[in-house]
Amino acid sequence: MPITLHVRPGLLVRPLTAADAGPLYEVVEANRAYLRQWLTWLDDTHGPDDVRNFIEHGTSQWSRDDGYQGGIILDGTPVGTIGMHYVNRRNRSTEVGYWLAETHGRQGIMTDVARVFVDDAFQRWDLNRVEIRTAAGNLRSQAVALRLGFKLEGVLREIFNHYGTLLDMHVYGMLRREWDALKL
Ligand SMILES: CC(C)(COP(=O)(O)OP(=O)(O)OC[C@H]1O[C@@H](n2cnc3c(N)ncnc32)[C@H](O)[C@@H]1OP(=O)(O)O)[C@@H](O)C(=O)NCCC(=O)NCCS
């Protein structure tokens, strides 16, 4: 079911495949310290096989109607990922997670990618609620959610184990009717 989402000329999101493991690992390696500031899987990612496992997890999610993991592809090369942590069909909800290579940051790429991905979650996946959770100190990720019109719904205290330190998380939410109203 996942299809290619066109974001800007030369910029798209498509489901990751096994062939992406090597190139994506190179991006992870080049951005290890940058990503480690807010993501927890860096110390468990030692080579392309670990990325392949993540990609297989995304493929298996899709086969269970539980979301998918998309590659952010700029001019044919992966520069990050965006995906659904899960799809809850009963509640018609999902949580979206993302990262982008530092060299491609601060150009609005992630905001535009997330806008198209969230729109697809509402339209094609027919969900009613999309959540973005960020560490309380992750101001750049919060700015992505806020630029898209997500509402800060609450703070989950000391819920996020970040390499041994328990951090607070912000929960941002968007409902389909709010999204549709924003697009009017
Ligand atoms: C979270 C993350 C993807 C945000 O990246 P980002 O570069 O800040 O976000 P964007 O690509 O949307 O770029 C926004 C910047 O581009 C600028 N910009 C330029 N053109 C823009 C446009 N058309 N639309 C929106 N912003 C634009 C914005 O002003 C903003 O600049 P600023 O940071 O100087 O204020 C990135 O910081 C990251 O990968 N961090 C590590 C992993 C992580 O934290 N993931 C999220 C876990 S919850």
Q: Quick count: other Cβ atoms within 10 Å of Cβ 48?
A: 19
Kindly list the protein residues whose Cβ atom lies closer than 6 A to any atom of ligand 1.
35, 38-39, 98-100, 105-111, 134, 138, 140-141, 144, 147
107 alpha carbon – ligand 1 mean position (Å): 7
Answer yes or no: are the C-beta atoms of 168 and 160 closer than 8 Å. Answer: yes
64 alpha carbon – ligand 1 mean position (Å): 31
18 alpha carbon – ligand 1 mean position (Å): 27
122-137 tens-digit pLDDT = 999 999 999 999 999 9
**Which residues make Cβ contacts (< 8 Å) with residue 4, sequence separation at least 6?**
12, 13, 14
Q: Of all protein residues, whose CA lies closest to atom 44 belonging to ligand 1?
A: 38
Amino acid identity for residue 148 in this structure: L
Domain coordinates in residue numbering, the chain = 5-183
**For a pocket test of ligand 1, which of 140, 156, 170, 172 has the largest count of ligand atoms closer than 8 A to its C-beta?**
140
| Cα 98 to Cα 110: distance, rounded to the nearest angstrom | 8
12-36 tens-digit pLDDT = 999 999 999 999 999 999 999 999 9
Q: What are phi and psi of 106, to 5 degrees?
A: 60, 25
Answer yes or no: are the C-beta atoms of 22 and 56 closer than 8 Å. Answer: no
86-104 tens-digit pLDDT = 999 999 999 999 999 999 9
| Cα 145 to Cα 153: distance, rounded to the nearest angstrom | 12
Side-chain-side CA neighbours of residue 64 (13 Å): 13
32-90 tens-digit pLDDT = 999 999 999 999 999 999 999 999 999 999 999 999 999 999 999 999 999 999 999 99
69 alpha carbon – ligand 1 mean position (Å): 19
The closest-lying atom of ligand 1 relative to the alpha carbon of residue 132 is: 48
Q: What is the pLDDT of residue 80?
A: 98
Percent of the chain with pLDDT over 90: 97
What class is the 5-183 domain? alpha beta
Banded pLDDT at 143 (limits 50, 70, 90): very high
